[in-house]
Homo-oligomer: A and B are copies of this chain.
Amino acid sequence: MEQAYIPHLSVDCVLFGFDEKQLKVLVVERDRLQEEDAKYHSGLLKIPGRLLFEEEYLEDAASSIIEELIGNESIPLQQFQVFGNPNRIKSPNDLLWLESQTKLPIKRVVTICFYALIKITDALTSTLNSHRAKWIPINEARGLAFDHDEIVREAYQHLKKELTASPLEFNLLPTYFTLNNLQALYEVILDQQFDNRNFRKKILKLPYLIETNKMETNVNHRPAKLYCFNEELYQKNKREMSLFFL
């Protein structure tokens, strides 16, 4: 049941990924067209997105865009901002590419943007190549096509604000993790350092953070205690846990 596109409306997704060391963004390569004019340098990397179908829910569009790239995991994407300047698509090459993709005469596209943050896993990454998609570090996300630099920048601002206002989803770490893993996660995503002792004091108050009797292994230093995360308690308590960090 393929539907017609709405030629003026697109959905774009900024998917952030954490690989236990860095914060990355998912981008896809767009084809370079023969007709392109070399003097217009327009990025060949873009964030995933496409025009909206006529009878499609916005959230469904966002999900399908991401699922096509990383498989069928359902990821809750959050709408954060619309980019709709009439001239947001400046480069002639970008326009050429859009028309070649959609077979529609494109004048102007208003794009509704979503974002999410997930854990980067090997399984996930293996499916990317076939779609010419890849993870790039957040601070290397420059020179993307269209106005995607700006979109990524804004999405990152939203992510940071959201993360300081409410606790993050814990599925960004392995099932068992150390408190220092958790601190590193916050530090990378918020781009901010925390005092180790104070961080532990705060984070241990979270009722859904469970201490296990497992230990790190195969490290050449004192092994750390492993913690895990109680989904049920998390769902129950996350509402009140806002404004946790400043």
Contacts and interface: CB of A to CB of B under 8 A. Distances in A.
A112 B9 contact: no
Interface stretch (A51-59, A63-71, A184-192, A197-205): A51-59
Interface residues of A, number: 21
A58 B82 CA distance: 9
- Give this chain's copy count: 2
A108 interface: yes
A108 B3 CA distance: 14
B58 A84 contact: yes
A55 B85 CA distance: 8
Contacts of A56: 86
Contacts of A55: 86, 107-108
Interface of A: 6, 8-9, 52, 54-58, 79, 81-82, 84-86, 107-108, 110, 112, 243, 246
